[in-house]
Amino acid sequence: MPQIFTENKMHNVSHRFHRFSRKNAVMDINDLTYKIRGAIFKVHKTLGPGLLESVYEAALVYEFMQLGLKVISQVGLPVNYNGVLLELGFRIDIIVEDAVIIEVKSIETLHDVHMKQVLTYLRLSGKKLGFLVNFNVSSLKDKESLIRIIN
C-alpha cells in the first residue's frame, strides 16, 4: 500500500480508489488535460528519473487529489468476449475524472507496443483519451516521453 504524505503527516491510501470532491461537476477536457499534464511535469521535476513506476504512480495520485480530481488507480479491466467478461489481469494504472487513462512507465525507451497497450485500454474501457508517460528520462518531451493518445 503506497504511503502518501500530506500536511507533514503520513497517511495510508488505498491503491484501488481515491475519491475527492470536485469544485465543478463538469470539467472541460482541455482544462482536465492541462491539469493532468501539469501534475505529470511536477512529479517528474520533483522526483526525477530512475525510480519505480509505483513511486511515480503514487505521486501522481497524490497530485491529482491535491487538485481535487477524482482518481482511481490500479483498475482491473476485463475483456468482453462473446458476452462473457474474462478477468485476464489487465490493470489500468490511473483513471482521472472517469475520463482519462494514464499509463505510467519508467523504462529505457517507449516502443509501439506501449502505445498499443494504451489504445487497447481505451478501447476496452470505452474511454477516449489517454496519456503514456515515461518518467525514466532526463526531461519530459511531448510525443517522446509524454504521449497523448486518442481512441
Contacts of 140 (CB under 8 A, 6+ apart): 40, 41, 44, 133, 146
Boundaries of domain holding 81:
3-150
Cell numbers representing residue 146 in the block = 509524454
pLDDT digits (tens, 9 = 90+) for 99-151: 999 999 999 999 999 999 999 999 999 999 999 999 999 999 999 999 999 99
pTM (two decimals) = 0.81
Number of domain units in the chain:
1
Sign of the dihedral defined by the CA atoms of residues 8, 11, 17, 20, in that order: negative
CA-to-CA separations, 118 to 82, 135, 147, in angstroms, rounded:
22, 16, 10
d(CA 16, CA 1): 10
Pairing of strands 71-76, 79-81: unpaired
